[in-house]
Amino acid sequence: MELLTKTEAVSLILEKLRLLRGAEKLNEVQAEFATEKLVSDMLDYCHREDFPMALVYTAVDLVGKRLEDMQDDADSQGISVRSPLSSIKMDDTEFSFAVENVSASGVLSDYDFDSIKGKLNIYRKVVSLP
């Protein structure tokens, strides 16, 4: 099993993202932040200091999805596309909130991370408490 340092993993994932995006401009600051956070979260979850090479493409997929979600939010010009308000009435003031339809990017990233736990469990080390 090939293992990478945290820095090597972040660099390789960013390289693959740039390759995948091609001509599309990658927001380097957002990409680097999202990649470092995901790699740290994966290492913490697995109780590891080294990053398994087999998880690189899993990380590329998740970071790419997160960047797309962030871009979608930015494209909405400050108006949330996933707004919890489903209707509004002017006279007699009526609001209807569609809370079940809300999918904020933080919540989405939690769901995305949960979706890869099966893969992460393969590389997870057992930790005993003192």
Q: Using one digit for the tens of pLDDT, what is the confidence trace for 67-91?
A: 887 776 665 554 444 555 556 667 7
Question: What is the number of other CB atoms lying within 10 angstroms of the CB of residue 70?
Answer: 16
* pLDDT value of residue 96: 67
CA of 12: how far to CAs of 6, 45, 65, in Å? Answer: 10, 20, 17
Q: Do 11 and 39 meet the contact criterion of CB atoms below 8 Å apart?
A: no
Residue 101's pLDDT band (cuts 50, 70, 90): very low
Express each pLDDT in 1-58 by its tens digit.
899 999 999 999 999 999 998 877 888 999 999 999 999 999 999 999 999 999 999 9
Residues 6+ apart with CB under 8 A from 12: 4, 56
Is 66 a residue whose pLDDT tops 80?
A: yes
Cα 112 from Cα 65, distance rounded (Å): 9
29 against 106, higher pLDDT: 29
* pLDDT value of residue 88: 64
CA of 76: how far to CAs of 3, 50, 70, 72, 83, in Å? Answer: 40, 38, 10, 6, 11
* pLDDT value of residue 75: 57
CA of 128: how far to CAs of 42, 47, 48, 52, in Å? Answer: 19, 11, 14, 21
* pLDDT value of residue 97: 61
* pLDDT value of residue 5: 97
* pLDDT value of residue 76: 54
